[in-house]
Amino acid sequence: MQMLAGLNSKARRREAVENRVCFHGPQVQLSIYDTYEPARQVALQSENLLYCAMLAGSKQMHGVYAKPQLFLPHESFVLAPGQPVWIDFPDARPAAPTTCLAIDISSDRISAVARQLNEQRDPSLGPCRYQAKAVHCHHNAQTQQLLERLISTFVEPVAEQKLLLDMQLTELVMRLLRQQSRELLLSALDQGQIHHGLLAAMQYLKANPSQALDMEKLSAQACISKAQLYRLFKQELAMTPGEYQQQLRLEQARRWLAEGQMSVTEIAYELGYQSLSHFNRRFKAANGVPPGRYRRQLN
């Protein structure tokens, strides 16, 4: 994997079951874990927020939700300070270790980023603040690239390392806070608490994910101009309306793939993709593997 190119695999392996390599920076610590043999109920906890990203293989996370959560590459699990989890490594092998990175981030840094976001946030949407709870999310291409840059900065220090880490960690925390903000907005949608044009537009896209994006119709639903609506999407969700619609489509695709009731072709056309190849490209870019392989990973 490209993001691990700076570490020699033989040099990293020191223990039979699990090996940990740590890198330190300002208000942050990055660890890369390699697990070489199947294991169960491995405990993980931190006094700070712990941002975990899957790089290779799979894990089962226990203790966060009512049911165990499968954790795959192109996904992140963010644990609240002091939140314990227990992890199973069902597929770890010496020739194909399960690899994960964990970024330990101080509460001071999170608070500082939240203040910066609130200086630019629309007051009618309420303040942006960190919620001390677990977050399980899929990476978009930008988040995946950011994690690769972070690892490279830690592993191969340069003269500007401290400055680069500061900027990259600020962006990572910003993405986390926006993810939690998005969840609050979606919760308001589910409860019918629509008090803002952005929420009305989100509700419309959520109800019509397969329709071609029509900004005229979307801005009419929001009762604001196209330019203002576009700005709100970028400011509050860090994505355009089109990117948000793609995210909704891919989230639904993952659910249908997990249920196993529809073929990949049926899912593609049901979600409004013009061709199977277009759907496959979009899905692989977002999840690291094509939809057929993703479905097999779940079994």
Average pLDDT of adjacent 10-residue blocks, the chain of 299 residues: 39 54 78 90 89 88 86 87 90 89 87 85 74 80 84 81 86 83 66 70 88 91 90 84 91 90 93 92 87 85
Among candidate residues 152, 186, 220, the one where a domain is terminated: 186
How many domains is the chain partitioned into structurally? 2
**Do 240 and 283 share a domain, yes or no?**
yes
Among candidate residues 127, 160, 186, the one where a domain is terminated: 186
Question: Alpha helix locations (H) across 121-196?
Answer: 141-155, 161-190
Cβ pair 115, 59 in contact under 8 A: no
- Hey, is 53 helix, strand or coil? strand
**Do 16 and 137 share a domain, yes or no?**
yes
**Do 237 and 129 share a domain, yes or no?**
no
Rounded distance, CA 52 to CA 73, Å? Answer: 11
**Do 170 and 30 share a domain, yes or no?**
yes
Structure confidence at residue 9 (pLDDT): 41
**Do 169 and 212 share a domain, yes or no?**
no
Rounded distance, CA 111 to CA 118, Å? Answer: 11
**Do 43 and 161 share a domain, yes or no?**
yes
**Do 176 and 105 share a domain, yes or no?**
yes
Cβ-Cβ contacts under 8 Å for 71 (sequence gap 6 or more): 52, 54, 58, 59, 60, 61, 77, 100, 136
**Do 211 and 119 share a domain, yes or no?**
no
**Do 13 and 142 share a domain, yes or no?**
yes
Among candidate residues 165, 186, 207, the one where a domain is terminated: 186
**Do 9 and 33 share a domain, yes or no?**
yes
Cβ-Cβ contacts under 8 Å for 239 (sequence gap 6 or more): 140, 233, 247
Structure confidence at residue 17 (pLDDT): 60
**Do 180 and 204 share a domain, yes or no?**
no
Rounded distance, CA 179 to CA 160, Å? Answer: 29
Beta bridge partners of 70: 60
76 token code pair: 């992140």
* Bridging pattern class, strands 59-62 and 135-138: unpaired
Structure confidence at residue 193 (pLDDT): 56
pTM attached to this predicted model: 0.71
φ, ψ of residue 26 in degrees (nearest 5): -65, 120
Structural domain boundaries, residue 214: 194-297
**Do 63 and 126 share a domain, yes or no?**
yes
CATH number, position 286: 1.10.10.60
204, amino acid identity: Y
